[in-house]
Amino acid sequence: MTKRKRQDDFQKVKLKVGKTKPKADNATNVSFRSKGIHLPEQLKRDDSGPTTHRQLGIKDLLSQLHHYSATVKHGALCGLRELLTSHPALVEQHLSTLLSEVAAAFTDKDGSVRSAALRLLRFVAQCVPSERVGPFFPLLSAHLTCAMTHIQVGIQADAMLVLDVLLEHYPTLLAHRHTHLLTNFLELISRQRLSGGAKAGEKAGAGRAGWALSVTPDRSVTAQQWRLTVLLRLSHFLQAVVDERPDEEGVMSADREGGEKGIATPLELNWEDHPFGKRGIQVFENSGSTPTPHSTYRLRPHVDKGVGAEEELSSVEAVRGFAETLVPLLLEVWLETAGADNGQLLSGDAMGLMQQILTILQLLRRLTPQHHLREELDAWLRSTYLSDFKLHFMKNFPYSQLDTPSPKLKKSSHRSRQQALPGSGGGAGVEPLVLNVTLCQVMVTLSHRGSAQPEGTDADWLGPIRCFVRETLTGGTRLSSKHLGALLEVVWRLVVNQKSRAVSEELLQAVYVQYQQRNLTIPVRLMLLRFFSQLYLKERLNRSKILTRWLAALPVQLVQLGSRNPQLSAQILQTLQRAAAWKNKELLSSLQMHACSLYDPQEGCVVLLPVDSQQRLVQMLYFLPAFPPELLSCLSRVCNTGRVSAGLAATLIRIIHLRSSLGGWTSNSEEAAIRDVDYLSFLFSTLTGFSSDELVVLQQAYDDALSPPTPLSPFSVYPTPLEQFTHHWDIVEEVCHCLSTLGSNSQCFDILQNGICKNLVGLTVMPDGVCAAVLRVVARLLDLSFLPSDALLHFLSKCCLSMLSLLLQLEHSAHKREAVWGACLAALSSVPRLLRLLLQSLRVCDMCVEEFPQLAQILSLLMQHTHLRNHMIANAQLLQHIIQELTRYCGGESREQWLTDLLHCYSVTLSGHRGNLY
């Protein structure tokens, strides 16, 4: 038996050349098969909305704001600003989310994130109006409150910047949240004391025992600069609150350059538009001015919330409670600042701090809109803090600025400069004049009212104020409108409150010196004019020599001013009208002296100023002492030049009529302002529309438009433009009305007849308006018991015939045609023998063939009218003779159409009285 070979565990494999190497037992199979995968939907770009340069949409950016990394959040805020800048429509679409996310970043720990959020908020505020932000503003206010009361000083500093943005763009919305934000300002510079008997549940107005100034050492600015920063924002915030409330202050304000509140607007009525009471007249309360809100009715019931910052500052108690907390803190701030300065010389920061303190004190008293409540608050401030104000504010008055060299600042980071920026802007630009004037404004509100003696209880501190105001106004320096307005407010209060004639004259003399300066700007001139005007109109200081001198100079200034500044002229006229109504003798004398210049028809204010000022000038004529012939001549030409409206010219004529003795309004004891002969001359000149000199010039004119006299037109008619004729015709109607109310028509007609015969008879060139006016007034005034003279009758027949010839040429002027035909018809039907004279003057033998059709048209017009039928029948023989002459001269085989029409009209009109025409 063969022996078998033993198998080893690790048997070596023999490799042979040229043979494939066998695979190992543990070899890995690396072979594979691949297939293509297509994902077309996932590889598409997101085109649902715009993106930034990093291909991020608004949803991606908003989601990144919740990231834990400050860098990611900063990038998201910058990306949002980039995206919204290029696509502003996204702001309105995502406004709610944007505001909530930006507001949440107010309290972020990283300063760069807060800065980016501030820039984004400023951009959104520039794009979105307050109406759209209103529903989301409580959220912004809540986050702003959290930032202002945050424990980190950097977040508090950035909260001031956020407040600046909201005050700039949404002051109204921010002012409505004052009950939630005012306490935050106090907590930024002070802390509430809970010890010493004061409990947390007590009201905030605990005075010095409730609040104390606080100092935070880890701020990047000094405590004085930080307080200046906070007080600056507090003053801006209170200003926004005050601006949202109606103001009843009657004192001349510097900021009130626009329309004056509380001034009643007169209700203009034209009684001709309301005949027989068919239309009602709606008269509103106070004639359009703001009503005085003294009513005790409230829309909401009073809720007892305690007095302090948690209650709306709309009552004296609420404002007093807030002032009890704030004013002591302001005094402590000033005491800490004033201890480092030397008397009257203040540093820039100290001046800025004091300016903000005084501004806040001014705004505190303006939080109560009612004037009587403001006086109550002033009385409380006087009794509580006048001694402190005199000790700390008036001790070194007036103040000046201390010149200190500015130190070179070391280079610092952008972040530190940004934190120091809010505090540096409040005191850098405060001038000593502004500071002193503001202090005067605050102190004069605390003075006694009605003190007749200047050396009273307030003389120790009112004396320096009066001296400062007087020296500033008379120093010759040119004041800006803002500075001058503040000084005028101080002068107003001193004059009105003290009631001392010596003090008033002294201060008004200083203001008058400023008023007399040349080359003043228009706002300054207007402000000074309003000051004197309101002081005279409201306070009635009739015994003041300065105001009397100022009033007497107003007519001269109005003449010199002319139309260069209608606003100044309107203010002067308003004062002149009121003073003239109060019968100021000096003013009326000056007005009488310069009346001809004011009412000059070419260069006078009555034709240069706007319509409202023209109306005031015309109304002032009622108070003028006398009307000399020169003035009446100017007024007559003013009515006829067309540079004032026809309605205003009619008003002028009515006023002259009322001032005359013939108008029936002048009593026997009162001397008439107008002589009867001058008044009648005024009416006659106004009736004709042309002066005697103009008529003489018209006779010598050689114009192609003037046709020579003809048998059908005895006068060479001067055609006036349609606008001028319409204007003059309205005046003619008013003159006729005035003449018809003088009493005796026969005497009036006799005077009118003499005027026509003296001034118009004998002229060869007559304006069409004059002819029509004479015919109209004669028909209106003629009495049946009075027979006109032959000269007048011949003149009227020429006028009537000329107007009838003109009537045939007026095809496109319906109004003028109606007026001319109405005047001719009224004269022919009312003046005896006028129609006979007219028919007698129609001599067919003197006419050319071309005039025959016109004559036929005139005769047809006269025969067709009903009012003239009886008169035409009475003159049937003359009419028959004229028609026979026309038929004889135009006889022939073919008869003209116009002659056929004339014969037909004659046969119809005079059928019962027709004679033999052939």
Could you tell me the end-to-end alpha-carbon distance of the chain, in angstroms, rounded to an integer?
Answer: 190
pLDDT at 289: 46
| Consecutive H or E run containing 766 | strand 765-767
Query: For the chain, how long is the longest CA-to-CA vector?
Result: 192
Average pLDDT over residues 758-772: 89
Tell me which residue has tokens 């006889």. 891
The pair of three-digit structure tokens given for residue 724, joined into one six-digit string: 């001028």
Task: Read off the pLDDT of residues 79-89 as tens digits, 9 standing for 90 and up.
Answer: 889 888 888 88
Whose CA is closest to 351, among 234, 255, 437, 461?
437
Of the listed ranges 287-301, 585-599, 790-804, 868-882, the one predicted with least confidence = 287-301
Query: Residue 595: which pLDDT band, with cuts at 50, 70 and 90?
Result: very high
The pair of three-digit structure tokens given for residue 291, joined into one six-digit string: 């009503």
Task: Read off the pLDDT of residues 801-817 as tens digits, 9 standing for 90 and up.
Answer: 999 888 888 777 788 88
pLDDT at 421: 44
Specify whether the CB–CB gap between 636 and 653 falls below 8 A: no
pLDDT at 558: 92
Specify whether the CB–CB gap between 523 and 535 falls below 8 A: no
CA distance 832 to 817: 24
CA distance 584 to 578: 9
Q: Which residues contact 355 (CB under 8 A, 6 or more apart)?
A: 426, 427, 430, 434, 435, 438
Query: Residue 630: which pLDDT band, with cuts at 50, 70 and 90?
Result: very high
Of the listed ranges 367-371, 489-493, 536-540, 626-630, the one predicted with least confidence = 536-540
pLDDT at 733: 92
Q: Which residues contact 259 (CB under 8 A, 6 or more apart)?
A: none
Look up residue 20 and give its DSSP letter.
Answer: P
Task: Read off the pLDDT of residues 474-519 as tens digits, 9 standing for 90 and up.
Answer: 887 788 888 899 999 999 888 887 777 888 889 999 999 989 888 8
Query: Residue 599: which pLDDT band, with cuts at 50, 70 and 90?
Result: very high
pLDDT at 287: 46
Cα–Cα distances in angstroms (integers) from residue 193 to residues 197, 209, 325, 336, 866, in the given order: 9, 7, 12, 19, 103
Q: Is 516 exposed, middle or buried (0-12, 13-18, 19+ CB in 10 A)?
A: exposed
The pair of three-digit structure tokens given for residue 127, joined into one six-digit string: 């794009």
The pair of three-digit structure tokens given for residue 711, joined into one six-digit string: 């048998």
Quick check: 348 pLDDT over 60? yes
Of the listed ranges 381-395, 540-554, 756-770, 904-918, the one predicted with least confidence = 904-918
More confident residue, 320 or 208: 320
CA distance 166 to 907: 92
Quick check: 689 pLDDT over 80? yes
Quick check: 707 pLDDT over 70? yes
CA distance 562 to 602: 12
Look up residue 719 and give its DSSP letter.
Answer: P
Task: Read off the pLDDT of residues 100-113 as tens digits, 9 standing for 90 and up.
Answer: 999 999 999 999 99
Query: Residue 182: which pLDDT band, with cuts at 50, 70 and 90?
Result: confident
CA distance 80 to 74: 10
pLDDT at 3: 52
Within 13 A of 770's CA, how many CA atoms are on the CB side?
26
> Beta-strand (E) ranges in 304-433?
345-346, 400-401
pLDDT at 270: 60
Mean per-residue pLDDT over the chain, rounded: 80
Average pLDDT over residues 57-73: 87
CA distance 215 to 209: 17
CA distance 454 to 501: 10
Specify whether the CB–CB gap between 752 and 684 falls below 8 A: yes
Q: Which of 6-10, 253-257, 272-276, 726-730 has the highest mean pLDDT?
A: 726-730
How many other C-beta atoms can be found within 10 angstroms of the C-beta atom of residue 658?
15
Query: Residue 198: which pLDDT band, with cuts at 50, 70 and 90?
Result: very low
How many other C-beta atoms can be found within 10 angstroms of the C-beta atom of residue 556?
13
448 φ, ψ (degrees, to nearest 5): -70, 140
User: Is residue 286 left, alpha or beta, with left meaning phi > 0 and alpha meaning psi from -120 to 50?
Assistant: left
Q: Is 850 exposed, middle or buried (0-12, 13-18, 19+ CB in 10 A)?
A: exposed
The pair of three-digit structure tokens given for residue 360, joined into one six-digit string: 């806040």
Specify whether the CB–CB gap between 427 and 395 falls below 8 A: no
Specify whether the CB–CB gap between 486 and 531 falls below 8 A: no
Quick check: 279 pLDDT over 60? no
Look up residue 500 and give its DSSP letter.
Answer: -
Helix/strand/coil for 192: strand
578-591 per-residue burial string, b: 16 or more CB within 10 A, e: under 16? ebbeeebeebbebb
660 DSSP β-pair partners: 674
Cα–Cα distances in angstroms (integers) from residue 96 to residues 104, 139, 199, 875, in the given order: 12, 10, 40, 95
Q: List alpha helices for 40-110, DSSP H.
A: 58-64, 70-86, 89-93, 95-104
Quick check: 307 pLDDT over 50? no
Task: Read off the pLDDT of residues 321-343 as tens digits, 9 standing for 90 and up.
Answer: 888 889 999 998 888 887 655 57
Average pLDDT over residues 780-793: 84
CA distance 224 to 215: 10
pLDDT at 317: 85
Specify whether the CB–CB gap between 123 and 81 falls below 8 A: yes
Quick check: 634 pLDDT over 60? yes
Whose CA is closest to 671, among 683, 681, 679, 659?
659
The one-letter amino acid code at 464 reads P
Quick check: 872 pLDDT over 50? yes
pLDDT at 539: 65
Helix/strand/coil for 882: helix
More confident residue, 42 or 789: 789
Tell me which residue has tokens 């007169």. 266
How many other C-beta atoms can be found within 10 angstroms of the C-beta atom of residue 628?
15
CA distance 118 to 627: 71
Q: Which residues contact 678 (CB under 8 A, 6 or more apart)?
A: 627, 628, 629, 632
More confident residue, 200 or 546: 546
| Consecutive H or E run containing 211 | strand 211-213
Quick check: 653 pLDDT over 70? yes
The pair of three-digit structure tokens given for residue 532, joined into one six-digit string: 């004197």
pLDDT at 456: 58
The pair of three-digit structure tokens given for residue 886, joined into one six-digit string: 């026309």
Tell me if the bond preceding 398 is cis, omega within 30° of 0.
Answer: yes
Quick check: 319 pLDDT over 70? yes
Specify whether the CB–CB gap between 509 and 501 falls below 8 A: no
- Axis crossing angle, helix 223-243 with helix 414-424, rounded to the nearest 10: 60
- Determine what percent of the chain is predicted with pLDDT higher than 90: 26
Query: Residue 158: which pLDDT band, with cuts at 50, 70 and 90?
Result: very high
Query: Residue 895: which pLDDT band, with cuts at 50, 70 and 90?
Result: low
Quick check: 254 pLDDT over 60? no
Whose CA is closest to 816, among 751, 723, 696, 735?
723
